[in-house]
Amino acid sequence: MLKHYKLAVCVLTLLTWQTQVQAQKIPLKPKLVEKVVRKGNELVIPYEKYLLPNGLTVVVHEDHSDPIVQVDVTYHVGSAREEVGKSGFAHFFEHMMFQGSDNVADEEHFKIVSEAGGTLNGSTNRDRTNYFETLPSNQLETALWLEADRMGFLMDAVTQKKFEIQRATVKNERGQNYDNRPYGLVFEKNTAALYPYGHPYSWTTIGYLRDLNRGNVQDLKNFFLRWYGPNNATLTVGGDVTPAQVVKLAEKYFGPIKRGVEVKNMKLPAPVLTQDKYISYEDNVRFPLLQMTFPTVPNFHPDEVPLDLLAEILGQGKNSILYKNLVKSQKAVQAGSQHPCTELAGEFSISVLPFPGQTLAEMEKTIRESLVEFEKTGVSEDALTRFKVSYEANEIDQLSSVDGKTSILANYQVFTGNPNFLPNDLKRYKAVTREDVMRVYAKYIKGKHAVILSVVPKGKSADVAHADNFTVDSSGYVPPKDQYAGLKYIKATDTFDRKKRPGSGANPVIKVPPFWNDKAGNGIKVIGTKNDEVPTVSMLFSIKGGHKLEAKNPGKAGIASLTAAMLNESSKKYTSEQLSSELDKLGSSINFSAGPDQMTVSMQSLTKNLDATLVLLEERMLYPRFDSTDFDRLKKQTLESIANQSTQASVVAANVYNKMLYGNDNILSIPVIGTTSSVSAITLDDVKNFYRSNFSPSVTNLVIVGDIEQNTIMPKLGFLSKWEAKPVEMPATPKVATIEKTKIFLVNKDKAAQSEIRIGYIALPFDATGEFYRVNIMNYILGGAFNSRINLNLREDKGYTYGAGSYFSGSESAGPYTAYAGVRSDVTDSSVVEFMKEIKRFEETGITDQELAFVKSAMGQSDARKYETAFQKAAFLNNIIRYNLDLSFVSQQSAILQGITKDQVNALSSKYLTVDKMSIVVVGDKATIKPGLEKLGYEIVELDPDGNPVKM
């Protein structure tokens, strides 16, 4: 696969437009810098760019296709601006930016945006930090008021208490995403060896715990004063707005904020390796990992694109050399290569997860042999075509949402000074040649040194590819000059009352996408809608049954999943590699998958290539080859994946939780992928029989969304008449397990830094306008929003977790109510207490008037965001056809939401939050957490990772 647009990109080596403009006289009023319009069908995002007197760049994209607006503020600061001993500050500060400012109270930012029907977040990487909201377009002024307030009025609101809570939250995030995740430290170990000590890429964005522990409030304030000035920021607004409207509001809210300290672009020399650096560490993993990383070039360097193509030829997709030599030959579970580039440097990485019985030393040898093979085979015409067409298709796909377009404009502006750099990028990728690829291979890879990292299972240190020969050396490091000395906070002065929250105006009119119904061959129900914002067509086949059909023979559970995997392989006419190549050359994709109650076939194509893609879809759906070699490889991979689940606490928690909810006699208590014993029992004939018996148009619905009319697409589906229809009998839904009294089910995961918690019971089936819809209204304030009671308690008030919540899920049969979190190991028992306290309190006292008003506003206005993208439209239509919904169900839901009373909500909480009959699953370090859990008064049942009782 090609790289998607990267959120951290490299500046040009020459002075950028931004630095040039800083040397000029800044206007007293916003200045229109440029206006870009689309001509014909060219791939361009229209916009206007302005410069405010304080240095803030404003980019506006006008798009009235949906009544929503995306507001993005990107600061040109990431972890690369940090110093040794103060890692993680850029990311830490991202958290602090949500903790209130002078005119916005603590926890109010999330509440205000959610109440307005919007969604929001922030992210930090090596080179930039951004904050973004997507809201109904009548909330534009509110979003700008919020962003401006924390840009200009944050300092006095930063307190020691907030600092400590967010420090705990960041530690939880590190525990969840790094320390407690298999292979979670690969990036940290690799960068420390690849870059010289003190290089800002030699640590990760999350930072080191020791640095987080030693930081203080003043350090954080200094970081804000140094990097968060308007002259180091870009405000990008896209959607149902006008440039004049945005600029006027930007001038009002951002204009008074004083210019910050000058920020210069960074440029550092590429790291030079004088030898292969072998490093290793032990981890709680099943498969060892070998990763080989070569230093390359920053983004936008002339050699970036040919290195991207080299990465694809070597290790991306079924036509790559590494796939052939390692995956296809059943030596490795996974093998691939990638070439991520950021502002200061690039990294060409090759990674392999070998099957048991293969050594890391053998993997290194095969990688080196594969590089020699590439030298001989070079770059084919097909490889060039696949690369270029796939890149264009990926770029087009990103333009399907205002979020995607706004993000592209923001990042091009921040790192190149030119929001309209997309055409330049397209030219770069279209112009790459075979000679370019061979040249960069010789320059950066052939005979060059690399960092070679081995990750081995605990206690298997002898299994590394080569003995370690490198340790970090700080002896030559010279600290930089203090860049935080003498910083002063100068608060803006206003001519208006900034404490007054802006009004929102009338809610935008929400239009449910118009759709059509039809029938294809053999009675397949079809529902579709035209979406001409981007020239693509998406199709989704839903074939009832899936995992649930395995109830007829649970001894072979996993057969639906394995059948879907086989359908992604060869057809009678084409090998899997040939199909993959043809799809890539069209910029198309076809994928089969299996879920709890259905199999799905998804297809996406550029409109111009639809006919050719449908030919390949027919091949895959109707004429699978079911090759024995493919089956043996996929079965082996599946069995290894099942065995690997025991290393992933979140997966263990989900599997054990389902087993406790549904009971041993229900197929849903078994993972969709199956178990070791059930998958071992599956034969190729079983897969063929499952396909023949259950893959049928008689139980199939089809959703079509794209740039095509009904009368154009339907004749193209004639091939579906060849699909043999057969009766598919759905097994009866068995009764689910019942629990008479709440219990804790404890699964041990030795020395886990965090515990995974799941709490719940089987509640009720999906119903668009019945009690299922109403309980989701009820749950929104308990666990469904960021500022829900559960998340505010466990994350924001206690600092126990990176995130916690609860939800009701349902299908045709009953689904569970689930409360969930990953928490610090040392507060596992306290977290269970807080969960149960919040659920019980809501059961007993219910919702407040203020909370109910918030829920009605938040859920009601969120409709503006429901139908924007092709994916959202497809999900909406899929529910209509799957559940045979009345066409008026959307208006019925709106009436239910606005009419529901406090008493009705409280009656639902009393009925469905039965805290005395819930299963509590905890996966964590037994030695640490069991003593505390024993004090809670619940019966504790110890289970193994498969959910079976542990013999005491």
CA dist 947 and 921 (Å) reads: 10
**pLDDT category of residue 14 using cuts at 50, 70 and 90:** very low
Classify residue 642 as exposed, middle or buried by CB count within 10 Å of its CB (0-12, 13-18, 19+).
Answer: buried
pLDDT, one tens digit per residue, over 467-482 is: 999 999 998 899 988 9
Residue 467 identity: A
Query: What are the structural domain ranges in the chain?
Result: 34-253, 277-397+419-463, 516-722, 743-943
Q: Per-residue b/e over 71-105, b at no fewer than 16 CB within 10 Å? A: bbbbbbbbbbbbebebbbbbbbbbbbbbbbbbbbe
**Looking at residue 391, what is its pLDDT?**
93
200: three-class secondary structure by DSSP: coil
- Residue 489 has which token pair? 């906070």
CA distance 820 to 181: 17
When pLDDT is cut at 50, 70 and 90, the band that residue 512 belongs to is confident
Check: CB of residue 422 under 8 Å from CB of residue 395: yes
Mean pLDDT, rounded, for 664-688: 96
Burial grade of 266 (CB within 10 A; 0-12, 13-18, 19 or more): middle
The secondary structure element, H or E, covering residue 156 is none
- Mean pLDDT computed over 343-350: 98
pTM: 0.92
Residues found in the chain: 952
Residue 171 · residue 212 · CB < 8 Å: yes
- Please say whether the dihedral angle defined by the alpha carbons of residues 292, 294, 298 and 301, taken in this order, is positive or negative: negative
Tokens standing for residue 788: 């829900």
Judge contact between 575 and 519, C-beta under 8 A.
Answer: no
CA distances for 761 relative to 367, 677, 776, angstroms: 49, 27, 15
Token pair of 539, please?
Answer: 């199709």
Per-residue pLDDT for 264 more than 80? yes
With 80 as the cut, is the pLDDT of residue 654 above it?
A: yes
DSSP H or E stretch at residue 706: strand 700-706
The residues with which 598 forms a beta bridge, in sequence order, are: 544
Name the fold adopted by 277-397+419-463: Cytochrome Bc1 Complex; Chain A, domain 1 (3.30.830)
Rounded Cα–Cα distance for residues 347 and 174 (Å): 23
For residues 603 and 610, what is the distance between their CA atoms, to the nearest angstrom?
Answer: 10
CA-CA distances (angstroms) from residue 929 to 285, 754, 821, 935?
Answer: 22, 10, 15, 11
Among 373-387, 502-516, 659-673, 886-900, the minimum mean pLDDT is found in: 502-516
> Which pLDDT does position 379 carry in this prediction?
97
Whole-angstrom CA distances from 229 to 419, 491, 815 are 20, 12, 49
On the CB side of 390, CA atoms within 13 Å amount to 22
Q: Are 662 and 612 in contact (CB under 8 A)?
A: no
How crowded is residue 507: how many other Cβ atoms within 10 Å of its Cβ? 18
**pLDDT value of residue 10:** 31
Residues 849, 451: Cα–Cα separation, whole Å: 59
How many Cβ atoms are within 10 Å of 309's Cβ, its own excluded? Answer: 26
The mean pLDDT value for 417-428 works out to 96
What 3 state SS string does 644-671 have?
HHHHCHHHHHHHHHHHHHHCCCCHHHCC
CA distance 208 to 84: 10
758: left (phi over 0), alpha (psi -120 to 50) or beta: beta
pLDDT beyond 50 at 164: yes
The answer to whether the CB of 726 falls within 8 A of the CB of 792 is no
Task: Evaluate if residue 824 carries a pLDDT over 90.
Answer: yes
Question: What value does the mean pLDDT take over residues 299-305?
Answer: 97
Question: pLDDT, tens digit, for every residue of 493-505?
Answer: 999 999 999 998 7
Rounded distance, CA 617 to CA 611, Å? Answer: 10
pLDDT computed for residue 115 by the predictor: 93
State the Cα–Cα distance between residues 798 and 165, nearest whole angstrom: 7
Q: What percent of the chain has pLDDT over 70?
A: 97
Phi, psi (degrees; rounded to nearest 5) at 809: -125, 145
Instruction: Report the chain's C-alpha Rg in angstroms.
Output: 28
Mean pLDDT of the chain: 93
Q: Select from 182, 252, 231 the least CA-distant residue to 76.
A: 231
Tell me which residue of 216, 226, 77 sits closest to 158, measured CA to CA.
216
Asked if residue 9 has pLDDT above 80, the reply is no
**Topology (CATH) of 516-722:** Cytochrome Bc1 Complex; Chain A, domain 1 (3.30.830)
- Amino acid (1-letter code) at residue 883: Y
pLDDT of residue 502: 95
Three-class SS state of 840: helix
Q: Are 107 and 796 in contact (CB under 8 A)?
A: yes
Select from 303, 338, 331, 299 the least CA-distant residue to 317. Answer: 338
Which pLDDT belongs to residue 2? 36
pLDDT-derived band at 511 (thresholds 50, 70, 90) equals confident
- Mean pLDDT is lowest, of 2-16, 150-164, 781-795, for 2-16
Provide the pLDDT for residue 414: 97
Residue 24 has pLDDT above 80, yes or no: no
Q: Which residues contact 357 (CB under 8 A, 6 or more apart)?
A: none
Q: Which of 333-337, 395-399, 700-704, 707-711 has the lowest average pLDDT?
A: 395-399
The conformation of residue 6, written as its DSSP 8-state character, comes to: P
**CATH 3.40.50.620 is the classification of domain 34-253:** no
Q: What is the pLDDT of residue 7?
A: 30
- Name the pLDDT band for 507 (thresholds 50, 70, 90): confident
**Mean pLDDT for the stretch of residues 44-54:** 97
Asked whether residue 296 carries a pLDDT value surpassing 60, the answer given is yes
- Strands of the sheet containing 129-136, edge to edge, are 31-36, 47-51, 57-62, 233-239, 68-75, 129-136, 119-124
Q: What does DSSP assign to residue 718?
A: G
The Cβ-side half-sphere exposure at 787, using a 13 Å CA radius, reads 21
DSSP state letter for 107: T
Return the CATH number of the domain spanning residue range 743-943. 3.30.830.10
> pLDDT by residue (tens digit) across 742-760?
999 999 999 898 999 999 9
Give residue-wise pLDDT tens across range 185-239.
999 999 999 999 999 999 999 999 999 899 899 999 999 999 999 999 999 999 9
Q: Please, how many CA atoms are within 13 Å of residue 199, restricted to the half-sphere of its CB?
A: 19
Q: CA triplet 705, 706, 712: central angle to 5 degrees?
A: 100
| DSSP single-letter state for residue 287 | S
Q: Does residue 67 contact residue 118 with C-beta atoms inside 8 Å?
A: no
The pLDDT of residue 735 is 80
Residue labelled with tokens 């000074």: 417
Q: DSSP character for 29?
A: S
Q: Using one digit for the tens of pLDDT, what is the confidence trace for 105-141?
A: 988 999 999 999 999 999 999 999 999 999 999 999 9
The CA distance from 184 to 167, in Å, is 20
13 vs 730 pLDDT, higher one: 730
The closest of 717, 528, 713, 558 to 622, measured between CA atoms, is 717
Structure tokens at 52: 């405010």
* Whole-number pLDDT of residue 386: 96
Strands 919-924 and 743-748: parallel
580-631 confidence digits (pLDDT tens): 999 999 999 999 999 999 999 999 999 999 999 999 999 999 999 999 999 9
Tens digits of per-residue pLDDT, 837-867? 999 999 999 999 999 999 999 999 998 888 8
